[in-house]
Structure 1
Amino acid sequence: MTTVTLVGTRLAEVGAEFVYRGEASGCEGCPYRDQCLNLTTGNRYRITNVRQSGQTLDCAVHENGVRAVEVEPAPIQANVPSKGAYAGSKASLPGPCPHTECPSHPYCEPAGAEFDEEYRISEIVGDPPHDYCMLDRDLTLVELEAPGE
Protein backbone atom coordinates (compact mmCIF):
# COMPACT_ATOMS: atom_id res chain seq x y z
CA MET A 1 0.00 0.00 0.00
CA THR A 2 1.41 3.37 -1.03
CA THR A 3 1.24 6.36 1.31
CA VAL A 4 1.99 10.00 0.51
CA THR A 5 4.22 11.67 3.09
CA LEU A 6 6.87 14.38 3.35
CA VAL A 7 10.61 13.69 3.62
CA GLY A 8 13.73 15.84 3.62
CA THR A 9 14.83 16.89 0.13
CA ARG A 10 18.16 15.06 0.54
CA LEU A 11 16.30 11.76 0.98
CA ALA A 12 13.67 12.38 -1.71
CA GLU A 13 14.89 9.90 -4.35
CA VAL A 14 13.11 6.87 -5.75
CA GLY A 15 14.51 3.73 -4.13
CA ALA A 16 15.83 5.46 -1.01
CA GLU A 17 14.94 3.65 2.21
CA PHE A 18 14.56 4.98 5.71
CA VAL A 19 13.26 3.99 9.12
CA TYR A 20 10.55 6.36 10.31
CA ARG A 21 11.52 7.65 13.75
CA GLY A 22 8.37 9.63 14.55
CA GLU A 23 7.89 13.19 15.66
CA ALA A 24 10.88 15.43 16.37
CA SER A 25 10.79 18.42 18.71
CA GLY A 26 10.83 20.79 15.71
CA CYS A 27 7.52 19.35 14.47
CA GLU A 28 5.49 21.12 17.14
CA GLY A 29 3.22 23.73 15.59
CA CYS A 30 4.11 22.81 11.99
CA PRO A 31 1.27 23.31 9.49
CA TYR A 32 2.34 20.13 7.61
CA ARG A 33 2.19 17.77 10.62
CA ASP A 34 -0.67 15.68 9.26
CA GLN A 35 1.13 15.04 5.96
CA CYS A 36 4.46 14.33 7.64
CA LEU A 37 3.63 12.32 10.75
CA ASN A 38 1.50 9.68 9.02
CA LEU A 39 3.80 6.63 9.09
CA THR A 40 4.34 3.90 11.69
CA THR A 41 7.23 4.64 14.04
CA GLY A 42 10.06 2.11 13.74
CA ASN A 43 9.00 0.76 10.33
CA ARG A 44 11.28 0.76 7.29
CA TYR A 45 9.96 2.45 4.12
CA ARG A 46 11.05 2.70 0.48
CA ILE A 47 10.34 5.77 -1.65
CA THR A 48 8.49 4.68 -4.79
CA ASN A 49 7.77 8.08 -6.34
CA VAL A 50 8.77 11.71 -5.83
CA ARG A 51 5.88 14.04 -6.55
CA GLN A 52 7.29 16.29 -9.28
CA SER A 53 4.40 18.75 -9.18
CA GLY A 54 4.96 19.45 -5.49
CA GLN A 55 7.03 22.28 -4.15
CA THR A 56 9.75 22.22 -1.52
CA LEU A 57 8.23 23.20 1.81
CA ASP A 58 10.05 24.88 4.70
CA CYS A 59 10.78 22.59 7.63
CA ALA A 60 12.24 23.18 11.10
CA VAL A 61 13.79 19.68 11.11
CA HIS A 62 15.15 19.35 7.56
CA GLU A 63 17.56 22.14 6.65
CA ASN A 64 16.72 22.17 2.94
CA GLY A 65 12.98 21.62 3.38
CA VAL A 66 10.72 18.67 2.58
CA ARG A 67 9.12 17.18 -0.55
CA ALA A 68 6.04 15.05 -1.09
CA VAL A 69 6.85 11.42 -1.89
CA GLU A 70 5.03 8.11 -2.13
CA VAL A 71 6.34 5.38 0.15
CA GLU A 72 5.57 1.75 0.87
CA PRO A 73 6.73 -0.55 3.66
CA ALA A 74 10.09 -2.05 2.70
CA PRO A 75 11.34 -5.58 3.30
CA ILE A 76 14.37 -5.99 5.57
CA GLN A 77 17.47 -8.07 4.87
CA ALA A 78 18.60 -9.78 8.06
CA ASN A 79 20.63 -12.66 9.42
CA VAL A 80 18.48 -15.23 11.22
CA PRO A 81 19.29 -18.62 12.76
CA SER A 82 19.71 -21.14 9.92
CA LYS A 83 17.67 -23.83 11.66
CA GLY A 84 14.14 -23.61 10.29
CA ALA A 85 14.91 -20.69 7.96
CA TYR A 86 13.00 -21.15 4.73
CA ALA A 87 10.72 -18.95 2.63
CA GLY A 88 7.35 -18.66 4.32
CA SER A 89 8.57 -19.55 7.81
CA LYS A 90 8.77 -17.13 10.72
CA ALA A 91 12.02 -16.13 12.37
CA SER A 92 13.36 -13.75 14.99
CA LEU A 93 16.66 -11.94 15.04
CA PRO A 94 19.28 -13.90 17.00
CA GLY A 95 19.97 -11.06 19.45
CA PRO A 96 22.40 -8.19 19.88
CA CYS A 97 25.96 -8.44 18.64
CA PRO A 98 28.83 -6.33 20.01
CA HIS A 99 31.04 -6.91 16.94
CA THR A 100 30.25 -3.72 15.02
CA GLU A 101 33.27 -4.20 12.72
CA CYS A 102 31.84 -7.47 11.35
CA PRO A 103 30.51 -7.21 7.76
CA SER A 104 27.32 -8.95 8.93
CA HIS A 105 26.58 -6.52 11.75
CA PRO A 106 24.06 -4.44 9.72
CA TYR A 107 22.17 -7.68 9.02
CA CYS A 108 22.36 -8.97 12.60
CA GLU A 109 20.98 -5.67 13.92
CA PRO A 110 19.05 -4.31 10.92
CA ALA A 111 17.38 -0.91 11.10
CA GLY A 112 13.62 -1.30 11.20
CA ALA A 113 13.54 -4.70 12.94
CA GLU A 114 13.29 -5.54 16.63
CA PHE A 115 14.82 -8.47 18.52
CA ASP A 116 11.62 -9.44 20.32
CA GLU A 117 9.48 -9.67 17.16
CA GLU A 118 8.81 -12.52 14.75
CA TYR A 119 8.96 -11.85 11.02
CA ARG A 120 7.92 -13.92 8.02
CA ILE A 121 10.78 -14.82 5.68
CA SER A 122 9.91 -13.91 2.10
CA GLU A 123 13.16 -15.10 0.52
CA ILE A 124 16.40 -16.87 1.36
CA VAL A 125 19.23 -14.64 0.12
CA GLY A 126 22.07 -17.01 1.04
CA ASP A 127 25.18 -16.98 3.18
CA PRO A 128 25.88 -13.95 5.39
CA PRO A 129 28.75 -11.68 4.31
CA HIS A 130 31.03 -12.79 7.18
CA ASP A 131 33.50 -15.70 6.99
CA TYR A 132 32.59 -16.86 10.49
CA CYS A 133 30.38 -15.60 13.30
CA MET A 134 32.36 -14.37 16.29
CA LEU A 135 29.43 -15.42 18.51
CA ASP A 136 29.43 -18.89 16.92
CA ARG A 137 25.94 -18.48 15.50
CA ASP A 138 24.83 -20.48 12.47
CA LEU A 139 23.12 -17.78 10.39
CA THR A 140 21.40 -17.40 7.02
CA LEU A 141 20.84 -14.10 5.22
CA VAL A 142 17.15 -13.67 4.40
CA GLU A 143 14.67 -11.04 3.30
CA LEU A 144 11.93 -10.44 5.84
CA GLU A 145 8.49 -9.38 4.64
CA ALA A 146 7.66 -5.74 5.11
CA PRO A 147 5.44 -5.24 8.15
CA GLY A 148 1.80 -4.62 7.26
CA GLU A 149 0.48 -1.12 7.71
Structure 2
Amino acid sequence: MEKKITLIGSKLAKTGNEFIYCGMLKECENCKFKKICHEGMVVGRRYRIRSVRSTDHPCKIHECGVKVVEIEVSREIPMLIESRKALEGLTLSDSIKCNNITCENYLLCNPEGLPEKFKIVKVFKNKITCPRGYSLRKVIVSPVD
Protein backbone atom coordinates (compact mmCIF):
# COMPACT_ATOMS: atom_id res chain seq x y z
CA MET A 1 0.00 0.00 0.00
CA GLU A 2 1.51 3.29 -1.12
CA LYS A 3 2.08 5.74 1.76
CA LYS A 4 3.20 9.30 1.32
CA ILE A 5 3.65 12.52 3.22
CA THR A 6 1.80 15.72 2.38
CA LEU A 7 0.43 18.82 4.11
CA ILE A 8 -3.21 19.49 4.88
CA GLY A 9 -5.10 22.26 6.68
CA SER A 10 -4.65 21.92 10.45
CA LYS A 11 -8.42 21.89 11.04
CA LEU A 12 -8.81 18.99 8.57
CA ALA A 13 -5.82 16.99 9.81
CA LYS A 14 -7.40 14.12 11.73
CA THR A 15 -6.46 10.45 11.50
CA GLY A 16 -9.03 8.58 9.40
CA ASN A 17 -10.32 11.65 7.54
CA GLU A 18 -10.49 11.39 3.78
CA PHE A 19 -10.08 14.08 1.14
CA ILE A 20 -10.03 14.49 -2.61
CA TYR A 21 -6.91 16.14 -4.02
CA CYS A 22 -8.03 19.04 -6.24
CA GLY A 23 -4.67 20.31 -7.50
CA MET A 24 -2.38 23.23 -6.89
CA LEU A 25 -3.70 26.78 -6.53
CA LYS A 26 -1.98 29.92 -7.83
CA GLU A 27 -1.03 30.88 -4.25
CA CYS A 28 1.00 27.65 -3.97
CA GLU A 29 3.38 28.40 -6.85
CA ASN A 30 6.04 30.21 -4.76
CA CYS A 31 5.53 28.34 -1.47
CA LYS A 32 8.55 26.63 0.06
CA PHE A 33 6.33 23.62 0.92
CA LYS A 34 4.97 23.23 -2.65
CA LYS A 35 6.94 20.04 -3.35
CA ILE A 36 5.87 18.32 -0.10
CA CYS A 37 2.24 19.36 -0.62
CA HIS A 38 1.75 18.47 -4.27
CA GLU A 39 4.40 16.07 -5.57
CA GLY A 40 2.99 12.64 -6.38
CA MET A 41 -0.62 13.65 -5.72
CA VAL A 42 -3.21 12.78 -8.38
CA VAL A 43 -6.03 15.25 -9.07
CA GLY A 44 -9.41 13.70 -8.30
CA ARG A 45 -7.98 10.82 -6.23
CA ARG A 46 -9.36 10.10 -2.76
CA TYR A 47 -6.80 9.87 0.07
CA ARG A 48 -7.08 8.76 3.71
CA ILE A 49 -5.03 10.27 6.56
CA ARG A 50 -3.07 7.59 8.44
CA SER A 51 -1.26 9.81 10.96
CA VAL A 52 -0.84 13.48 11.86
CA ARG A 53 2.22 15.30 13.15
CA SER A 54 1.70 17.96 15.80
CA THR A 55 3.53 21.01 14.40
CA ASP A 56 1.60 23.69 12.50
CA HIS A 57 3.28 25.32 9.48
CA PRO A 58 2.24 28.61 7.82
CA CYS A 59 0.07 28.50 4.69
CA LYS A 60 -1.42 31.18 2.43
CA ILE A 61 -4.52 29.03 1.81
CA HIS A 62 -5.33 27.54 5.23
CA GLU A 63 -5.93 30.27 7.81
CA CYS A 64 -4.82 28.08 10.76
CA GLY A 65 -1.82 26.71 8.90
CA VAL A 66 -1.09 23.15 7.82
CA LYS A 67 0.16 19.95 9.42
CA VAL A 68 2.31 17.20 7.99
CA VAL A 69 0.25 14.03 7.50
CA GLU A 70 0.98 10.53 6.31
CA ILE A 71 -1.62 9.48 3.74
CA GLU A 72 -2.55 6.53 1.56
CA VAL A 73 -4.88 6.09 -1.38
CA SER A 74 -8.32 5.35 0.05
CA ARG A 75 -9.02 1.64 -0.49
CA GLU A 76 -12.68 1.61 0.62
CA ILE A 77 -15.20 3.81 -1.13
CA PRO A 78 -18.92 3.40 -0.35
CA MET A 79 -21.31 3.81 -3.25
CA LEU A 80 -24.64 2.69 -4.67
CA ILE A 81 -24.79 0.49 -7.72
CA GLU A 82 -27.49 -1.25 -9.74
CA SER A 83 -28.48 -4.46 -7.92
CA ARG A 84 -27.77 -6.63 -10.98
CA LYS A 85 -24.11 -5.47 -10.94
CA ALA A 86 -23.66 -5.80 -7.17
CA LEU A 87 -21.40 -8.87 -7.18
CA GLU A 88 -18.36 -9.18 -4.91
CA GLY A 89 -15.18 -9.33 -6.98
CA LEU A 90 -16.70 -7.66 -10.06
CA THR A 91 -14.49 -4.99 -11.67
CA LEU A 92 -16.29 -1.99 -13.16
CA SER A 93 -15.49 1.35 -14.75
CA ASP A 94 -18.88 3.03 -14.56
CA SER A 95 -21.31 4.25 -11.94
CA ILE A 96 -24.96 5.39 -11.95
CA LYS A 97 -24.20 9.10 -12.56
CA CYS A 98 -27.62 10.32 -11.45
CA ASN A 99 -28.15 14.09 -11.73
CA ASN A 100 -30.91 14.37 -9.10
CA ILE A 101 -28.91 16.54 -6.65
CA THR A 102 -31.84 16.80 -4.22
CA CYS A 103 -31.96 13.01 -3.71
CA GLU A 104 -30.70 11.70 -0.36
CA ASN A 105 -28.69 9.07 -2.27
CA TYR A 106 -26.96 11.54 -4.62
CA LEU A 107 -23.51 11.43 -2.97
CA LEU A 108 -23.49 7.63 -2.87
CA CYS A 109 -24.61 7.39 -6.51
CA ASN A 110 -21.94 9.92 -7.51
CA PRO A 111 -19.04 9.35 -5.09
CA GLU A 112 -16.18 11.81 -5.31
CA GLY A 113 -12.74 10.37 -5.90
CA LEU A 114 -14.05 7.26 -7.62
CA PRO A 115 -11.16 5.71 -9.58
CA GLU A 116 -11.41 4.94 -13.29
CA LYS A 117 -11.60 1.20 -12.55
CA PHE A 118 -12.79 -0.25 -9.28
CA LYS A 119 -13.55 -3.63 -7.77
CA ILE A 120 -16.52 -4.45 -5.56
CA VAL A 121 -15.14 -5.75 -2.25
CA LYS A 122 -18.34 -5.86 -0.19
CA VAL A 123 -22.06 -5.95 -1.00
CA PHE A 124 -24.68 -5.00 1.59
CA LYS A 125 -27.89 -7.06 1.61
CA ASN A 126 -30.54 -4.35 1.88
CA LYS A 127 -31.95 -2.88 -1.31
CA ILE A 128 -31.97 0.92 -1.42
CA THR A 129 -35.09 2.88 -2.37
CA CYS A 130 -34.52 5.10 -5.39
CA PRO A 131 -36.98 7.88 -6.32
CA ARG A 132 -36.32 7.12 -10.00
CA GLY A 133 -37.15 3.44 -9.60
CA TYR A 134 -33.67 1.96 -9.89
CA SER A 135 -32.99 -1.21 -7.92
CA LEU A 136 -29.86 -0.28 -5.94
CA ARG A 137 -27.48 -1.86 -3.45
CA LYS A 138 -24.84 -0.25 -1.30
CA VAL A 139 -21.35 -1.61 -1.94
CA ILE A 140 -17.78 -0.89 -0.92
CA VAL A 141 -15.37 -0.57 -3.84
CA SER A 142 -11.59 -0.42 -4.03
CA PRO A 143 -9.40 1.07 -6.79
CA VAL A 144 -7.92 -1.33 -9.32
CA ASP A 145 -4.30 -0.33 -9.82
TM-score where L is the length of structure 2 = 0.88
Distance 1:30 1:37 in 2: 11
| Paired residues of 1:97 and 1:108 also in contact (CA < 8 A) | no
Q: Does 1:28 align with 2:25?
A: no
Q: What secondary structure, in the 3-state scheme, does the structure 1 residue paired with 2:57 have?
A: coil
Distance 2:10 2:87 in 1: 38
Query: 1:140, CA displacement in angstroms?
Result: 1.1
Structure 1 alignment gaps of length 5 or more? none
Partner of 1:48: 50
Query: 1:47, CA displacement in angstroms?
Result: 0.5
The one of 123, 136, 144 aligned to 1:139: 136
Aligned AA (1:121): I
| Paired residues of 1:43 and 1:147 also in contact (CA < 8 A) | no
Aligned AA (2:124): V
Structure 2 alignment gaps of length 5 or more? none
| Higher strand proportion (structure 1 or 2) | 2
Distance 1:93 1:127 in 2: 19
| Paired residues of 2:49 and 2:71 also in contact (CA < 8 A) | yes
Pairs within 5 Å for 1:1-149:
1-38=2-39, 39-52=41-54, 55-74=55-74, 75-91=76-92, 92-98=94-100, 100-113=101-114, 117-127=116-126, 130=128, 132-146=129-143, 148=145
Distance 2:24 2:125 in 1: 36
TM-score where L is the length of structure 1 = 0.86
Q: What secondary structure, in the 3-state scheme, does the structure 2 residue paired with 1:59 have?
A: coil
Aligned AA (1:64): C
How many corresponding residue pairs? 141
Query: 1:51, CA displacement in angstroms?
Result: 2.0
Query: 1:61, CA displacement in angstroms?
Result: 1.0
Query: 1:147, CA displacement in angstroms?
Result: 5.4
| Paired residues of 2:82 and 2:134 also in contact (CA < 8 A) | yes
| Paired residues of 1:21 and 1:41 also in contact (CA < 8 A) | yes
State the identity as a percent: 30
| Paired residues of 2:80 and 2:108 also in contact (CA < 8 A) | yes
| Paired residues of 2:23 and 2:43 also in contact (CA < 8 A) | yes
Q: What secondary structure, in the 3-state scheme, does the structure 2 residue paired with 1:36 have?
A: helix
Aligned CA RMSD, in angstroms, stands at 1.7
